[in-house]
């Protein structure tokens, strides 16, 4: 009989298949374990982080800020300078004659007008001198009149050949001498009358009287150096200020075009505007030691806002940019990405907006590009802002 070999030959094949299935099962199990481990270690952590970030974004409190709206306005461009108030006329009043100061008719600090009587000097010595000169003139006039009558007689006698020609000529010269004496007397009289006028001291200009320098009763002289008082003109008044020489071409261009250049005067702290005037003229040379040039402006000074020798800050209006977008200077931020502002969107979140800044004048800045009128920009509280931060208005 022949033996059946199939059971012996199939046993290794079955064992091999079982081993292969077992290996694949373990490989699948290992891969699944690896995937689960990766998701547990990384994917779950990232998901938690995203969820946490979203929660933080949702739960983050709004940043309290102060905002301002960009406005469309005419933007003035100024040239700043430092100046000093200077009176157009400062007059030291002195006596033009020698004599005793009899009366003072002004008060210290008083505002006087041109022609107002300020003081009187004793006129009696000049009145007596005038009387003397007038008497001398009457005497000389009578002598002149007598000499003229004799001259007419001599002319008749000389025509009749009764006197020599020399006598007639002598009489003619005598008449001319008396005429000279009369003119001299008239000159003396006019001189004394002028001195009598000088005894009445009047204000040559309108202005403010300073402190009194001489008291009544003192003897004053025309040669005195101090004078009686000082009058300083206050209306109008001028301010002399300096600007950098680099700005001179702009000023000259405006003056050549005939434009009126306004000048504003501010106090020492640049907070209060004192007065508004106009540019009068420019100095004829540049100060090489400072690189500046002096300008002179005139102010009406109706309310006496400016006082002589007062220090002021000056702003010269050189141009006006029409229809510019203007925001507060505090809104301008600078960083590695350039110049930007925090713009508040409609959902009350902040957005970093790059801008191109034009001129900056004090607390305002003009924006060339980047903003539109009525855009809200943050002016206070920017230190806690980030792109996308929620904001609340103060």
Using the predicted structure, report yes or no on whether residue 32 has a pLDDT greater than 80: no
Cα–Cα distances (Å) from 182 to 69, 140, 365, 380, in that order, read 89, 6, 81, 91
Report the pLDDT value the prediction gives residue 3, as an integer from 0 to 100: 44
Cα–Cα distances (Å) from 43 to 35, 39, 55, 160, in that order, read 10, 4, 18, 157
Using the predicted structure, report yes or no on whether residue 178 has a pLDDT greater than 60: yes
Beta bridge partners of 315: 80, 264
Distance CA 348, CA 342 (A): 11
Distance CA 237, CA 309 (A): 11
Distance CA 216, CA 223 (A): 18
Rama region for 304: left / alpha / beta (φ>0; ψ in -120 to 50; rest): left
Using the predicted structure, report yes or no on whether residue 340 has a pLDDT greater than 70: yes
Using the predicted structure, report yes or no on whether residue 11 has a pLDDT greater than 50: no
The pLDDT of 168-172, averaged and rounded, is 93
For the chain, give the mean pLDDT.
87
Burial of 19 (0-12, 13-18, 19+ CB in 10 A): exposed
The 10s digit of each residue's pLDDT in 118-161 is: 999 999 999 999 999 999 999 999 999 999 999 999 999 999 98
- Residue 289: which pLDDT band, with cuts at 50, 70 and 90? very high
Using the predicted structure, report yes or no on whether residue 8 has a pLDDT greater than 60: no
HSE-up of 92 (CA within 13 Å, CB side)? 9
The 10s digit of each residue's pLDDT in 368-384 is: 888 989 899 999 988 88
Distance CA 190, CA 184 (A): 10
Report the pLDDT value the prediction gives residue 23, as an integer from 0 to 100: 65
Burial of 255 (0-12, 13-18, 19+ CB in 10 A): middle
The pLDDT of 69-77, averaged and rounded, is 89
HSE-up of 106 (CA within 13 Å, CB side)? 30
- Residue 42: which pLDDT band, with cuts at 50, 70 and 90? low
- Residue 17: which pLDDT band, with cuts at 50, 70 and 90? low
Distance CA 328, CA 192 (A): 72
- Which CATH number is correct for 63-73+323-393, 3.30.420.40, 3.30.70.20, 2.40.420.20, 3.40.50.620? 2.40.420.20
Above pLDDT 70, what percent of the chain? 87
Report the pLDDT value the prediction gives residue 44, as an integer from 0 to 100: 54
Phi, psi torsion values for 223, nearest 5 degrees: -90, 0
Cα–Cα distances (Å) from 95 to 184, 200, 226, 282, 353, in that order, read 26, 9, 10, 36, 73
The pLDDT of 48-53, averaged and rounded, is 54
Who contacts 140 (Cβ-Cβ below 8 Å, separation ≥6)?
178, 181, 182, 185
- Residue 50: which pLDDT band, with cuts at 50, 70 and 90? low
Who contacts 10 (Cβ-Cβ below 8 Å, separation ≥6)?
none
Least confident segment among 31-35, 80-84, 241-245, 388-392: 31-35
Which of the pair, 36 or 379, is modelled with greater confidence? 379
């Amino acid at each position: 009989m022949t033996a059946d070999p199939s059971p012996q030959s199939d046993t290794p094949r079955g064992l091999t298949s079982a081993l292969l299935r077992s290996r694949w099962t373990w490989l699948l199990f290992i891969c699944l374990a690896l995937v689960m481990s990766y998701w547990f270690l990384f994917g779950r952590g990232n998901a938690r982080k995203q969820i946490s970030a979203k929660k933080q974004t949702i739960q983050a409190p709004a940043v309290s800020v102060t905002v301002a709206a960009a406005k469309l306005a005419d933007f003035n461009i100024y040239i700043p300078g430092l100046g000093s108030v200077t009176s157009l006329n400062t007059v030291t009043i002195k006596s033009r004659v020698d004599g005793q100061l009899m009366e003072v008719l002004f008060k210290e600090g008083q505002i006087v007008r041109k022609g107002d009587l300020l003081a009187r000097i004793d006129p009696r010595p000049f009145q007596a001198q005038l009387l003397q000169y007038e008497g001398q003139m009457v005497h000389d006039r009578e002598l002149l009149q007598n000499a003229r009558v004799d001259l007419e007689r001599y002319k008749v006698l000389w025509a009749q050949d009764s006197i020599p020609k020399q006598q007639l000529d002598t009489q003619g010269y005598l008449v001319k001498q008396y005429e000279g004496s009369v003119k001299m007397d008239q000159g003396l009289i006019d001189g004394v009358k002028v001195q009598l006028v000088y005894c009445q001291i009047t204000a040559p200009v309108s202005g403010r009287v300073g402190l009194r320098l001489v008291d009544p009763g003192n003897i004053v002289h025309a040669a005195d150096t101090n004078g009686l008082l000082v009058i300083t003109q206050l209306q109008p008044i001028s301010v002399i200020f300096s600007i950098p020489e680099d700005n001179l071409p702009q000023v000259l261009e405006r003056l050549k075009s005939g434009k009126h250049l306004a000048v504003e005067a501010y106090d020492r702290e640049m907070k209060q505007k004192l007065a508004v005037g106009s540019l009068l003229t420019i100095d004829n040379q540049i100060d090489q030691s400072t690189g500046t040039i002096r300008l002179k402006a005139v102010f009406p000074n109706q309310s006496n806002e400016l006082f002589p020798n007062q220090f002021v800050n000056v702003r010269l209006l050189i141009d006006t940019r029409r229809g510019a977008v203007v925001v507060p200077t505090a809104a301008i931020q600078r960083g590695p990405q350039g110049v930007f502002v925090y713009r508040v969107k409609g959902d009350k979140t902040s957005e970093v907006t790059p801008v191109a800044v034009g001129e900056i004048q004090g607390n305002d800045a003009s924006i060339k590009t980047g903003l539109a009128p009525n855009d809200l920009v943050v002016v206070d509280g920017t230190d806690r802002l980030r792109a996308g931060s929620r904001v609340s208005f103060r």
